Amino acid sequence: MPEALFSPQSEINEALLSSTLLGDGLPSEAEHHLWEASLFYHLDEVAEGHLRQAEALAPEHAAVLIGLFRFYFYKARLAEALEVAQRCIIKAAEVNNLSSDWRIVRAGDAAFGCYENTLPRFFLFSLKGYAYLQMRLGRTEEGRIAIQKLLELDPTDKIGAKVLLRVLEHMFQDDD
């Protein structure tokens, strides 16, 4: 998969994208558009056009959703990244047989504590992105609720939700 779009945590991305549990596989034409998007990442309109073509071909495939999320996130188009994060949560809930409402998911609903399990990790990373974006967009209470859910699902904090919680706490300390 294109490294420019699936950057820092490539090991999770490779595992997610190759997982047959995430769908029937990415159509080759959609994969081509993801590659092109990564090659033209520096040209926003061109890259986004390729991402949209991939989305038209495989609208709910994890690879496409991750590509869209990362593009919008790294381009600081946070509202659009949040929309995609919400779609990722829905996709992750579906492949994990969880409720589509992340608020009612419980720790025992999936193997969240086993970091090696790709599908539960996809759910946790999607929710973490959602929490972070809520915070960045000034919706701190929604971000806090999502962080608390992450800590409930992942009490050993393998996903790193406590970092977000500390950032949130510091945001309010600075106001004092």
Q: Which tokens go with 101?
A: 């409402």
Task: Assess whether pLDDT exceeds 80 at residue 132.
Answer: yes
- Say which DSSP state 109 is in: G
pTM given for the model: 0.84
124: Cα separation from own chain's centroid: 8
Domain segments of the chain: what residues? 1-75, 82-176
CA 8 to CA 74: how far, in whole Å? 12
How is residue 26 written in tokens?
């990415």
Averaged over 92-117, what is the pLDDT? 94
Q: What is the mean pLDDT of residues 72-77?
A: 96
Q: CA-to-CA distance for 127 and 102, rounded, in angstroms? A: 8
Q: Tokens for 140?
A: 């701190």
The encoded tokens of residue 35 equal: 């590659």
* Residue 80, amino acid: E
